[in-house]
């Protein structure tokens, strides 16, 4: 485990040159090691088929890729990238011309294509030109092997072995490069989505109570109105509630106590409305309640239940126990007249309740 850890630390070691990126260096290191292992595997295949000349070529390629790996630690990442790409292209051309199209090494051009766009420091225009060049090389090799043929004819066993080795290593090198580069972008995208969700949440809730704010409630009611007009809406009843004598609480105990009262009631309202509808802090000490699929009579019963809970509760502040009550204006939404009309009607009823002595529901 210690060896693997040290190997990982070596591969993922940062670059010293401020003008080079760690990402490119790491991908090149992984690719160089994989290509070195690939040519070791190829040497084994050639050894099994008794072709010593290709074994030595494979060993030279292994040494060249190790040199490319070494260059990334010597502040030579840019040179190492170019060197590795030219080396890979030379290996592809050389082996295809010697062994023919069936050797399969030409498929590493796709790996080169990935490396060109993920590790190269060149401009995008130059990257596209290189991509076109790689396409031309691949086509050229195809026609060369079709009309001229291979210099050395492989046995069936060697052909199968090379196809397996080529396919496995090509997939590994491409997956390694793409996985490493996409990992950071996916993480950044995920963080951006989480940040946007957080910003949307912050824009939708009241920072003190954690309830929906006036803006988000208006958006919700506008959406409900739109659904009703499209024939998909349901009955809604709203209630506008105001804490009785809240100003007196602030004047007597201070605004910190007032904040505690607001949060205490917000928690109660949130729990009570969890499966019945939604509630928002409408402004100051006012709260707007929306009861889902509920007529005025049913909403009145629910509201009365909630008022009983509020009356039984109390807020303790500096040894003082504060009892609370609210006054409500209750109104069934008539979507033909509009949501704003319903809110205005509930507001009028609320003030009637205040004038009549508070601590009541006016419907």
Higher-scoring residue by pLDDT: 264, 165:
264
Phi and psi based region of residue 231 (left: phi greater than 0; alpha: psi -120 to 50; beta: remaining): left
165-174, 175-184, 220-229, 260-269 — which one is most confidently predicted on average? 260-269
> For residues 182 and 101, which has the higher predicted lDDT (pLDDT)?
101
The position carrying tokens 């030579």 is 76
Q: In this structure, what token pair is assigned to residue 48?
A: 């099994």
- pLDDT tens column, 222-251: 988 888 888 777 789 999 999 999 999 999
Q: What pLDDT does residue 90 have? A: 93
Residue with the larger pLDDT of the pair 231 and 126: 126
Q: How far is CA 99 from the centre of its chain?
A: 46
Q: Kindly tell me the number of DSSP H helices and DSSP E strands found in the chain.
A: 12, 8
How long is the chain? Answer: 363
Among 47-56, 104-113, 219-228, where is mean pLDDT lowest? 47-56
Q: Is the pLDDT of residue 197 over 80?
A: no
Higher-scoring residue by pLDDT: 149, 65: 65
Q: How confident is the model over 65-94, as a mean pLDDT? A: 88
The CA distance from 261 to 244, in Å, is 12
pLDDT value of position 352? 95
User: What is the C-alpha separation between 289 and 330, in angstroms, rounded?
Assistant: 9
Which of 65-74, 132-141, 270-279, 346-355 has the least mean pLDDT? 65-74
Give the lowest-confidence range in 58-62, 104-108, 174-178: 174-178
Q: Which candidate, 354, 357, 323, 348, places its Cα nearest to that of 239?
A: 348
DSSP track, 144-159: HHHHT--SSPPPHHHH
The region of weakest confidence among 5-14, 94-103, 126-135, 223-232 is 5-14
**pLDDT for residue 184:** 61
pLDDT at 138: 92
- The yes-or-no verdict on residue 47 having pLDDT over 80 is yes
Q: Which two tokens stand for residue 78?
A: 């840019």
Report the pLDDT value the prediction gives residue 87, as an integer from 0 to 100. Answer: 92
CA angle 117, 123, 124 (to 5 degrees): 55
Residue 221 contacts residue 290 (beta carbons within 8 Å) = yes
Mean pLDDT confidence for 182-188: 63
Half-sphere exposure in the Cβ direction for 200 (13 Å, CA): 7
pLDDT exceeds 70 at position 186: no
Indicate if the pLDDT at residue 15 is higher than 60.
Answer: yes
Handedness of CA 5, 7, 11, 14 (dihedral sign): positive
Model-wide pTM > 0.75? no
The strand ranges marked E within the chain are 212-213, 236-243, 277-283, 286-292, 314-317, 320-323, 326-332, 361-362
Residue 11 has pLDDT above 70, yes or no: yes
DSSP state, residue 331:
E
Beta carbons within 8 Å of 78's beta carbon, 6+ residues apart: 20, 121
For the segment 140-158, the average pLDDT, to the nearest whole number, is 82
Residue 1 reports pLDDT greater than 60:
no
Specify whether the CB–CB gap between 63 and 108 falls below 8 A.
Answer: no
Judged by average pLDDT, the poorest of 39-53, 99-113, 192-206 is 192-206
Q: What percentage of the chain exceeds 90 in pLDDT?
A: 45
DSSP structural state of residue 106: G
Six-digit token string for 15: 């670059």
The mean per-residue pLDDT over the stretch 262-282 comes to: 94
Give the long-range contacts of residues 359-363, CB within 8 A, separation 24 or more: 359/244, 359/307, 359/325, 359/326, 359/327, 360/327, 360/328, 361/239, 361/300, 361/303, 361/304, 361/307, 361/327, 361/328, 361/329, 361/330, 362/327, 362/328, 362/329, 362/330, 363/296, 363/300, 363/330, 363/331
Whether the per-residue pLDDT at 82 is higher than 60: the answer is yes
């Amino acid at each position: 485990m210690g060896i693997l850890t040290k190997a990982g630390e070596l591969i993922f070691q940062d670059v010293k040159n401020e003008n080079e990126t760690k990402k490119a260096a790491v991908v090149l290191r992984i690719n160089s090691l994989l290509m070195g292992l690939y040519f070791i595997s190829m040497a084994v295949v050639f050894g099994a088929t008794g072709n010593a000349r290709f074994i030595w070529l494979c060993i030279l390629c292994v040494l060249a890729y190790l040199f490319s790996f070494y260059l990334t630690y010597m502040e030579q990442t840019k040179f190492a990238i170019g060197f590795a790409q030219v080396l890979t292209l030379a290996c592809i051309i050389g082996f295809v011309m010697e062994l023919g199209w069936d050797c399969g090494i030409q498929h590493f051009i796709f790996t080169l294509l990935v490396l060109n766009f993920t590790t190269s420091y060149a401009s995008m225009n130059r990257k596209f030109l290189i991509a076109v060049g790689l396409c031309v090389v691949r086509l050229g090799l195809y026609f060369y092997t079709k009309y001229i043929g291979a210099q050395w004819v492989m046995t069936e066993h060697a052909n199968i072995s090379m196809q397996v080795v080529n396919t496995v290593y090509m997939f590994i090198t491409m997956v390694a490069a793409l996985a490493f580069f996409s990992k950071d972008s996916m993480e950044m995208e995920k963080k951006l989505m989480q940040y946007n969700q957080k910003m949307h949440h912050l824009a939708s809730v009241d920072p003190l109570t954690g309830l929906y704010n006036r803006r988000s409630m208006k958006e919700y009611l506008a959406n409900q109105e739109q659904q009703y007009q499209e024939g998909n809406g349901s009955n809604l009843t709203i209630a506008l509630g105001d804490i009785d004598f809240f100003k007196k609480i602030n004047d007597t105990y201070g605004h910190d106590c007032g904040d505690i009262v607001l949060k205490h009631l917000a928690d109660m309202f949130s729990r009570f409305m969890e499966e019945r509808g939604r509630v928002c802090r409408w402004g100051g000490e006012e709260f707007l309640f929306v009861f889902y699929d509920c007529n005025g009579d049913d909403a009145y019963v629910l509201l009365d239940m909630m008022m009983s809970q509020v009356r039984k509760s109390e807020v303790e502040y500096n040894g003082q126990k504060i009892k609370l009550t609210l006054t409500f204006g209750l109104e069934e939404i008539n979507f033909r007249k509009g949501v704003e009309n319903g809110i205005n009607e509930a507001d009028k009823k609320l003030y009637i309740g205040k004038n009549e002595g508070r601590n009541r529901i006016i419907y």
